[in-house]
Chain A
Amino acid sequence: GAVVSQHPSWVICKSGTSVKIECRSLDFQATTMFWYRQFPKQSLMLMATSNEGSKATYEQGVEKDKFLINHASLTLSTLTVTSAHPEDSSFYICSARSRPTYEQYFGPGTRLTVT
């Protein structure tokens, strides 16, 4: 099956620093990649959608300048949390949509803790 990787799996950083999370589709080309955020025992909340080579589309209420998304290629998207604060601590999950099948696969997630 299709594999999506995320790196790192977890990160602890100090308030005010920036953190970059990578999302890669390993064995397929992803027309679109998505970034979600999930709080404990809650559903996945879509943050933004990115297409290769174009600007990301952010959901209402998500700060573009705080959550920078770069979709450099058909297999790589990055999310940078800038000037992180404790309230940004969460589980961030990316997913990638397979071009021919339309199926969407999730990465293993990155747990961010801001101290």
Chain B
Amino acid sequence: QQPVQSPQAVILREGEDAVINCSSSKALYSVHWYRQKHGEAPVFLMILLKGGEQKGHDKISASFNEKKQQSSLYLTASQLSYSGTYFCGTEAGPNNNDMRFGAGTRLTVKP
């Protein structure tokens, strides 16, 4: 079953912050975040494997609330290069090998 992402789209000015949410109706083992630019393949951002885990790189970070079966991606002081569609992928178990993707959140950063 696909996770649900929100919002569907967001428009920001350079330097503003954004939060993208991903929730599932099933218990989650892992959450994966990707960014895809038009006509290109998704690029891996980060993976969260443990409930309560938080990770970050540069000004992009994410958290995973295992109990609530949800994850959030935080984009701080957004840059023009952050524009793209963000997908979360979720798996229910370590050996399931059946990552399902949300519908995506289209992020546009304007100067």
Contact residues of A with B, CB < 8 Å? 1, 32, 34, 42-44, 46, 49, 51, 57, 93, 97, 101-109
Minimum CB–CB distance for B41 against chain A, Å = 4
Q: Mark B74-111, 1 if CB is under 8 A from A, else 0.
A: 00000000000001010000100111111110000000
Which residue of A43, A49, A104 is within 8 Å of B104 (Cβ)? Answer: A43
Give the size of the chain B interface in residues (CB under 8 angstroms): 22
Instruction: Give the secondary structure class of A's interface.
Output: strand
Q: Which residues of B contact A43 (CB under 8 A)?
A: 2, 87, 101-104
- The total number of A-B Cβ pairs within 8 Å is 49
Q: Are B42's CB and A44's CB within 8 A? A: yes
Q: State which of A46, A57, A102, A108 has its C-beta within 8 Å of the C-beta of B40.
A: A108
**B31-50: which have CB < 8 Å to A?**
32, 34, 40-44, 47, 49
Contact A46 B99 (CB under 8 A): yes
Instruction: Tell me whether B30 is interfacial, beta carbon within 8 Å.
Output: yes
Contact of A104 among B99, B100, B102 (CB under 8 A): B99
